[in-house]
Every structure is written in structure tokens, then in C-alpha cells.
A and B are shown apart, each in its own frame.
Chain A
Amino acid sequence: MPTLTIDGQEITVEANTTVLQAAEELGIEIPRFCYHDRLSIAGNCRMCLVEMERAPKPIASCAMPVGEGMVIHTTSPIAEKARKGAMEFLLINHPLDCPICDQGGECDLQDQAVAYGRNDSRFDEMKRAVNDKYLGPLVATTMTRCIMCTRCVRFATEIAGVEELGATYRGEETQISTYIEEALTSELSGNLVDVCPVGALTNQAYAFTARPWELAKTESIDVHDAVGCNIRIDCRGAEVLRVLPRLHEDVNEEWLSDRSRYAVDGLALQRLDQPYVRVDGKLQPAAWETAFAAIKARLDGLGEDRGGKIAAIAGDMADAEAMLALKEMFTALGSPNIDCRQDGAKIGGKHRGGYLFNSSIAGIEDADALLLVGCNPRTEATLVNARIRKRWLAGGFKVGVIGGTSGPGDDLTYKYDYLGAGPETLSEIADGSHAFAKVLADAERPMIILGSGAIARDDGAAVLELARNVAEKNNMISADWNGFNILHRAASRVGGLDLGFLPGDGGRDVAGIVDGAGKGEIDLIWLLGADEIDMAGLGNAFVVYQGHHGDAGAHRADVILPGAAYTEKDATWVNTEGRVQLGRRAAYPPGDAREDWTILRAFSAILEQPLPYDDLQQLRDHMVEAAPSMGEIDDVAPGEMGAFGVAGDVGAEAFVSPIDDYYLANAICRASTVMADCSRLYTDTTTNTGSTGGATGTNG
């Protein structure tokens, strides 16, 4: 543990800490461009030069390990002069186009030039110009602005796991490029915009839209998958202009997947902004009273024993408050037919450990062997995948895959053994006859991750049982480690399971509801943002669709109740780990749309069975009573384990990941034009090229 002195303050830090990190611990900020604390050290921008006593030259503090007795000066004339020199060199070729640059106002170079820049240039040669590069439809490039920090190259190589970016050519001609003008094949490419310290890589979808100081910033939670990424929503007026990741070490670190970042234009398109009622086969705009009256009339027509004839399904982006209100309304109506497992997953019940990602996302870094069953984490939970890659890069981590991917050649961004496609391989591991069983048995902290491709099938309960056997036989569950994990892909799922949004005694599950509707046994179905069920199979049932987008559910609906999207409501979300997080409203819902729980509260009053809460706080208090875990904000309580799953025969069909198109996985994405472009590009590989026509972006 070396002790050193920085600006007169003594500090003792771990060996192998760098001078820059030690200074940061003291709260001394050293300017930097190429250094990024989650990427490897490059040391090429030279902005972090500091003076070290008895050293002949200033040192690059980002790359210099601390040593005993070092004396560092970060603000001495030598350090200042060195930084001013580095800045002058950086500005030699950087264009003075801040007024037309999207990074303006949030640009590291701009900020640091204020502190270290000269107000004139001594360089009277021509500036360098570099042709723009094509990196796909998400990242706009103006490579003339690039200062060669190589953060993007390191991000793509290390975090995203796609070695497609590089520094080509040399010296003055150096360019950051893919060389072959192909879109990056990563679901994390939006983060290149965040790591770029200048305006070389910017957000294509947000290009020339706003300046950062115009935006209202709201800290919230992402719902495009079940990871529960922490996000910041930037709005101008009612319009959500962009979404950025927010730091949460245990969930998304500081990254965000492309769907979460770029589908925001879908929030303004295909919106349900007023109630509709189907009249003579056509949906007609209606007032709230009319819409409610139509539902009440239908309910009243069902007679006293209507409970068995009505059903509710919660979709993938339903918030906990709305699910609780809907559940209680249906309980009051006497119906046990409610289900939040739109995909038909055979999970839920009193053992919380049976449906959670028990190891926790950060816990992946402690594991030493992993078995993925029926899931493709790269598309289902991109940041869980990034965490698996991070663990894999650290070494000594064997990954086995059963189904879920398209085969042994599918790129998950880390090496894995493809063990088989279906349940029989899992059976072999369970009885120890498979070679990978030994890997799990020898590991100290092995993990198994079940995706919905493994449990959302007819034999799902038997697969769950089998997986639990694998976990128990291989010491995956002990006092300080739980390696049994379910990887959800819907933001609503764990919240729904925690609240018991599940069929009651004698109630029907999703398949039963759809089947019953087709046979005429179910007469009224309430879809809370549920779009992923078989709408054609609903027969003549009266469908109430409460949601925010005109997707499959709204097309089938007889009554549409316009709800709020995740950016438009204060709502509780529970991620796949069981972590309860609060999303906050960044904008108001459009037109007549309302927050979902208030719609249900209003309708319950019309039914003359009012729900027992009049404001959000009462609802939340009530929710904590119903499910105590809901009160533990941002906390992950260990899931209780038990004998979940049902022993039984497993089928032979392969596990298939339910996501066939990452970019079109939910109603918001399907409304987004940016996601449509991505889908076209990435699903049809023949179009995976583009050209920027030799532009250099700044026109001189």
C-alpha cells in the first residue's frame, strides 16, 4: 500500500492504482479525454499530464501507477503548461464548429478548452479533414472532430465485444473506422455516443434537435427489458427527445442498450390519445364516460356469476400500481382469471426464488461457471449479457449453452460451449452424464440462467423442476450464494408475480383465457397493455384494451382506454433480480390519456366498487401491505427457495428464444421509425452497408 502526496495531501492507496485514480480519491480532478474508468488505459491524449517531483518530464497520470513517496503536483506551472500544450495540439486539427455540433454544451473538449485552451492558434497549416464513417443508423459520425482518444475502439472491443472498430492508417492520416463501411453489429452501439468525449460520434436520432440546457431531465427506469436500467429522460415540453443511461453499479453500470435509448421516437407515434368504442365494427372516438358505460353495460349483461366469464391479462410494460389496481378490481368482480405471464411461462407462486434472478446482475462477476438454458441474453437482456462478458473477460469462467441461440455459431460476445438444443441435454446434466455436469460440480459458485424460451412452453414446469435439480445437485444454492436464475424479458413480469397477478383458485392462465374466449366461455377480456397474445383466437369476446400504443391489442379492442407510457407516469418497476425501482414522470400523457391506475380507480367507482385508494401514496402503502417486498426500494432481498417446478416428462423440442427481432420486441419499438430502420438493416444482412458520400461533416 504505497503512500504518496498529491498537491500537499498525503494518501495511501492500493498498489496498482494510478496517480489519476488516487487523485480522484482525494477529490482532485485531473482533465482527461482518453481515460475512461471502465475501459483499458490508452494514455494517448496526454491531457492528464501532471508534475512528478524528480521526474524529468510531466507524467501521464492515467497510466502511471502510484509509487511509495511520490510527490505529485496537479496544478503546478509545469503541469498547467503541459496541459495547455496538449490542448493546443488537440485543437490543431479539431474544427471550430461548436455552433453546429450536437455535442456543444456537453462536450469534454469544449469544457476543458475553456480551462486550458489558448484563444488563438499558432498553427497556420491546413487542418486535417476526414471522411465520415458509416457505423449504422444509430450513431452519426463527423470524424473530422475526432481527437483519436480511441475510447470508442476500446468500448467496442472490450465492453460490447464486437471487434469491428479500429484505428486505421497512421500519423496524421489515422482514422477511426470499421474500414469496410459496415454497421456495427452491437446492441450497445449507442454507448459509443456517450464515451466519445467530443462530437465525432453523436446520436443520429437526436441530431440537431436540442441543446442540453434546453432539456428537462428526469431520472427514471427503463422498461424495454427486465433489467431495469437506470435512465435519464430528457424532455423539451411534452416531447421526450432522448434517453440516456444513469449510473447504477449493480444494474446497468453506465451503459444502455440500443432499444432503450433509441425507441423513444416511438413514444410520439401510434399513440392512443383518447378513448375509443367499437360501433358497428368500427372504432369510434368516444368520451371517457361513453367508454366506461360501454364496458359497464357489457359487464352488467353477464349477470351475477360474471366472475368466471371475465378475464384480465397484464402486458409486458404494465407498472405495478396498475397491475395491483386491476387485480383488485377483478377480485371485487369475483374473477380468478387474471395472469401477468403473457408468454405463458410456468413460474410464479409463493417461492420468490423460483422466479427471480437470484444471483443478482452484479453477482455474475462472482460466479465461476454458467449454464444458459433457453435464452439469448444478448437480445433478451443486453446488459446482463454485457455483465457475463465482463466476467468472461476476467478469465476462469466456463459458459455452457443449451438452446436459445440459433446454434453453436451464434455470437454472444463471449466463448461458450454449445451443449445441445433441448431439454434432453438439461436432463443429461441433471443426471451427471453430460461432460458439462463436471464443470458445474467442480465450480465453487456455478450459475444457471433460465430464459423464457425454456419455461414458456407446455413442459415449462418440468423444465423448471429439472433446472432446480441441476442447481441443487451442483451446490448452486448455499447460505451466501444462489446460482439459480430466471432471466425475464418483460419489465412488468416480476412485479406482477410479486403482486400475485396470477390465476386464482380455478382461474385460467393466459392460454386458458385465450382458449376460453375462442370457445365463448370468456366474454370480456381486459388487456392491460397486452399485445403479444393471439388476438385472432379471442373469438367474439369483448376486448377492453388499456394501453398507450395502437398495436395488436388496440386493433382487436372493442373499447380502448388510453393509458400512459413509462415516461409519463410515476410507477414502480421490479426488475428480473426483484429489485424494486421507482420510475418518474418526465412528460404528461398525450390528449385524454391518463395514468393507468387512475383509469382503473375511476372505472371501479363506476362499478360502485371503488378501489380503496385515492392518490398514489395510498396506493403504494396498500401495495406494500399486499407485497412487502414492494416497499424495499432499490434493494434486492434474497428470494425464498422451495420445491417449485413440477416433476414430469420434458418434451424433445429445442428451446427457442422468444425474441426473433431485438429491435421490434414491444409496442413502443414497433411504433418507432428508428427501430424499424434498425430491424430492416440488421435482419437483412445484404443491406448492411452504407455510404456517407465522402462528407467530412463540417464542410471545411
Chain B
Amino acid sequence: MKRVPAPAEQQPGSFAFTAENLEVAKGHIAKYPPRRQASAVMPLLDLAQRQHDNWLPRAAMDAIAEILEMPRIRVYEVATFYTMYNLAPVGQHFIQVCTTTPCWLRGSDDVISACKSKLGVALGETTADGKFTVIEVECLGACVNAPMMQINDNYYEDLTAESTIAVLEALAKGETPKVGPQSGRHTSEPAGGPTTLREFMGDG
């Protein structure tokens, strides 16, 4: 999906880390040797994105370039390279649906169409109320619980169309749905319950 920076009218004029985040930033910088502070660019971009409604305005990248004493273009390069940095505003709940082969085989198409019909938006769009953005992404590494989607920092797994809608409804009501598998199984245990070595347990 093409990532396009927010147009000038959406870009804030300035950005500054909160005092709290500035301390965190200093902690990241301190992990690297002196004069190698540019190595901290990725955690700082992430920190700025978290502070700024889950997207990175240009002002934030410029501020980070200033803090790390590196040319601005080098920060832009990093921020545009990694897809987890959002260059334009996204909804309060940023939904990334995995559609790579395992999830696709297990029904990610249903998850996508559930999101689309429930929210009334196409992929890459944000709902009118600014609450949800849906995009499709490549493998998020939870294939054993396919299909799955990531909403902000949480994984929602073992999805069906119904459970997807239930998650979205809960979020819309301001609740936090149970994170992880929506099928009732515990983490990535076998779908029918644990089986391994069970027969030996009875024998003591």
C-alpha cells in the first residue's frame, strides 16, 4: 500500500516531546556510545508516534533530527522505510489485518469484509468519526492463530467474521475486548485442547 505523507494543512507547525517522553528518549540515547546517538532514531520515532496520536508529522521527524544531531533527510529515510511509522493521521483504533498466506487460507478475506461492512470504509480509509482505520498488512508472525489482526498494540487472533465484528463493536463502545484468541482457546494451544503427553498423565 502506498504510504503518502499527510498534506501540509494536516501537518502541525511544531512538535516537542513531553517532559516524560524526553526522559525516555534520553534513556534510549544513553544506550548508544557517544557520537553514535543517531542509532536511537527508531525508538525515538516510535516514541513520537505514540505521543502524537499514532502518526508521525514532519515536525516530529525534524525535532528528532535536531535532538540526534543528524540531517533531517536521514530521519525521513528511516521513517518512510519502515511501514510501522504512519506518515499521515490514522484512526484512534488502527486495524492491521494480516492477509498473508496462512491467514488467507484460514479466512482473512472474511475478516476483511467484516471490517469493511461493519465500519463502512475501504482498505486504507478512516471512518468519518476518526475512530477506525483499516489496512491490510503482510505477515505479523501469529500464523498459528490465523486469521488475526492487530489493533494498535494488541493482537486479536483466531478470528471469524462474527468475532471480528464483536471486537469492533466493543471498541466502538469504548470497551477493551479480550486480547488474543477470540475462539476461546488459550494462546496457541491446540484447538481441541492440550493433547501432548496426556495419556501418560493418568499412569502417574
Question: What residues make up the interface of A, taking CB atoms closer than 8 Å to B?
Answer: 163-170, 173, 178-180
Contacts and interface: CB of A to CB of B under 8 A. Distances in A.
A164 B71 contact: yes
Contacts of B3: 169, 173
Contact of B73 (A169, A173, A179): A179
B58 A167 contact: no
Given A168-B76, A180-B76, 12 more contacts: A163-B71, A163-B73, A163-B74, A164-B72, A164-B73, A166-B74, A168-B77, A170-B81, A178-B73, A179-B5, A179-B73, A179-B76
Nearest to A180: B58
23 contacts: A163-B71, A164-B71, A165-B73, A166-B73, A166-B74, A166-B76, A167-B77, A168-B76, A168-B77, A168-B80, A169-B3, A169-B80, A170-B80, A170-B81, A178-B73, A179-B5, A179-B72, A179-B73, A179-B76, A179-B80, A180-B58, A180-B72, A180-B76
B2 interface: yes
Interface residues of B, number: 12
A168 B72 CA distance: 12
Contacts of B72: 164, 179-180
Contacts of A169: 3, 80-81
Interface string B1-37: 0110100000000000000000000000000000000
A169 B3 CA distance: 8
10 cross-chain pairs, A with B, having the tightest CB-CB distances, nearest first? A163-B71, A166-B73, A179-B76, A168-B80, A166-B77, A169-B80, A170-B81, A164-B73, A168-B77, A163-B73
Contacts of B77: 166-168
Nearest to B3: A169
A170 B85 CA distance: 13
Nearest to B58: A180
Contacts of B2: 173
A134 to B, nearest CB: 14
Contacts of A168: 76-77, 80-81
A173 B87 CA distance: 15
A169 B74 CA distance: 12
Contacts of B58: 180
A635 to B, nearest CB: 41
A689 to B, nearest CB: 9
Contacts of A178: 73
A260 to B, nearest CB: 27
Interface in B71-106: 71-74, 76-77, 80-81
Contacts of B74: 163, 166
Nearest to A689: B8
Contacts of A179: 5, 72-73, 76, 80
A170 B1 CA distance: 12
A163 B70 CA distance: 9
A173 to B, nearest CB: 7
B41 to A, nearest CB: 13
Contacts of A166: 73-74, 76-77
A645 to B, nearest CB: 41
Contacts of B5: 179
A540 B58 CA distance: 60
Nearest to A175: B80
Interface in B35-73: 58, 71-73
A332 B187 CA distance: 104
B65 to A, nearest CB: 10
A167 B78 CA distance: 9
A93 to B, nearest CB: 16
A396 to B, nearest CB: 16
A28 to B, nearest CB: 36
A164 B3 CA distance: 21
Contacts of A173: 2-3
A169 B72 CA distance: 15
A170 B3 CA distance: 10
Contacts of A164: 71-73
Listed residue (B5, B72, B77) with the most chain A CB atoms within 10 angstroms of its CB: B77
Contacts of B73: 163-166, 178-179
A553 B152 CA distance: 70
Nearest to B73: A166
A180 B57 CA distance: 12
A25 B80 CA distance: 41
Nearest to A178: B73
A39 B45 CA distance: 30
A163 B72 CA distance: 8
A173 B1 CA distance: 10
